[in-house]
Amino acid sequence: MSADPAAGRIRDDAWIQVLGFLALASGLFSAHYLRAWPRPPAAAVPSAAEAAIAPLVPVVPEAAPAPAPVLPAAPAPDAPKKLVARRAGHWVVDAAMGPGADTAKIAEAVANAADLDVILVKPGDYREGLKIAASVTIVGDSGAPGDTRLSFAGSETIVVAGGSVIMKNMTLSNDGKSGEWVIALNRGRLSLKDVALRSSSQGIRVSDGDLDVADSTLEASTALFVEGKSRVTMTGVTATGGEATIRADGPDVQLTIRHATVRNSRDTAVAAANSAHVFLSEIRFHDDADAIVAQSGAEVKVSHAKIEKNHGCAVTIGGGATVILEQTRSAKNRCGVSFTGPGTLDVTDSEFEDLELGALMIKPGISGEVIVRGARNTGIKIPRKVAGVSPVY
C-alpha cells in the first residue's frame, strides 16, 4: 500500500513546528541567563606594533603595591618615678625598707611631697643631700636625735630655697671638705627643734630667710652665720665653734638668742658687724677667746647674761658700734669691756669682778670718740667725762 503524500507533508510540518518552538524556547532561556551572568571585560585590542612584538614580550601582571611597613612606636622616655605615700600627707622613710616604708631615701620623699606633708624618718644613717622648696615637716622617728643621722660628703647637706620647713629629732652633719655648710637657708623659713648639728667645717648659713632653733646643739667651726635680710631666733641652744661661733653681718640682720650657752670658741663667741642688730638674753659665755665683739655700727644688747672664765674680754667695741649691758655679770675674764675704736657702752645693774686687766679698757688716743654711760653697777669705774658726755651713775 502506498503512503498518502498529503499525510506525510502534514507530519513533516508538525515536526518542523515542534522543533521551531523548542528552538525559540531555548533561545529565550539562554538570553535570559546570559544577561544575568557577569561578563568579563572586553580585551583591549592591541595596535599593530604591539601585536608584532607581543610574542617576544612576556606579559607579567602588574603586582599590587606592597603595603608600607608598620614600624614599632618609639618607646617613650622614662619618666621620673612618681612616689605616692601609703597614707595621704604622710611619708615613711626607712633605709632598710622595712614594713610600711614608702622609700629608703629622704630626698625621694621630699621630691614627691606636697605642701604640709609630714616625712617620718626611721632610725638609721642617711648619706644624701636635700634640696627643699616645699613646706614640709621632717621628723626623726626615735626618742633621741642621735638615732636618726643625715650626713653628706659634698656641698651643703640641706639647702632650703623656699617654703616653711620644720626638722625635728635628728643629727645633721657634713663630711665634705673645709668650707662646706651643713645647712644653707637661702630663702623661706626653717625651724629646727631637738636637732644635733655637728661638723668639722661650717654649720648654718642664713642668707635671706627666717631661722628658728630650739633645744638644739650646734658644733662647727662657725656654728651660725647670718647675712642679708634675715631674722634668726635661738632658744635653749648650746653652741660651740672653732672660729667665731655665731656671726651676724649686715643692717637687715636681726639675731635673738635666749636661754643659751656659747662655749669653747677659739676665736669670738658672738661677733656682730656692719650695723647688725643682736639681742642676747640669759646667755652663758664660758671658756671662749672673746665673748662678744661689736664692730662697724653693730648694735648689741645683752641682758641677764653671765660672761665667765673667758680668755679674752667680755665685750670688745669698735667701729662706732653700740653695746648695752643690763644685769650682766663679767667675772674671771681677761677684762670687762675693751674699746679698740670709737663706740658706745651703756651699762646698768651689772657686776664686774676678778678681771686681770680691769673692768674698762680704752685704747690710747680714742677717748674722745668713746661714750660710756652707766648706773647701779659694781666693780666698774665710769669715767667722769668721755667724749664730752657726762655719765649717769
Average pLDDT for 259-277: 94
- Expressed as residue numbers, the domain containing 165 is 83-220
Q: Is residue 268 part of a domain?
A: no
Residue, of 27 and 223, whose pLDDT is higher: 223
Q: Is residue 360 part of a domain?
A: no
Strand pairing report for 299-303 and 230-235: unpaired
- Give residue 79's pLDDT: 54
pLDDT in tens, 213-262: 999 999 998 999 999 999 999 999 999 987 779 999 999 999 999 999 99
- Give strand ranges (E) for 17-157: 90-93, 118-121, 124-127, 130-132, 137-140, 148-152
Q: Is residue 123 part of a domain?
A: yes
- Give residue 371's pLDDT: 95
Residue 304 has pLDDT above 60, yes or no: yes
Cα separation, 392 vs 369, in Å, equals 18
Cα separation, 320 vs 317, in Å, equals 8
Q: Is residue 112 part of a domain?
A: yes
Cα separation, 204 vs 223, in Å, equals 6
- Give residues with Cβ within 8 angstroms of 372, minimum separation 6: 344, 345, 347, 360, 382, 383, 386, 389, 391
Q: Is residue 96 part of a domain?
A: yes
Q: Is residue 127 part of a domain?
A: yes
- Give residues with Cβ within 8 angstroms of 20, minimum separation 6: none
- What is the residue-averaged pLDDT of the chain? 84
Model confidence at 201, pLDDT cuts 50, 70, 90, reads confident
Residue 220 C-alpha from the chain's centroid? 22
pTM reported for the whole predicted model: 0.77
Domains contained in the chain, number: 1
24-27-32 Cα angle (round to 5) = 130
Cα separation, 344 vs 321, in Å, equals 6
Average pLDDT for 88-94: 95
**8 Å CB contact between 218 and 240:** yes
Residue 143 has pLDDT above 50, yes or no: yes
Looking at residue 199, which CATH number applies to its domain?
A: 2.160.20.10
Q: Is residue 148 part of a domain?
A: yes
- Give residue 86's pLDDT: 85
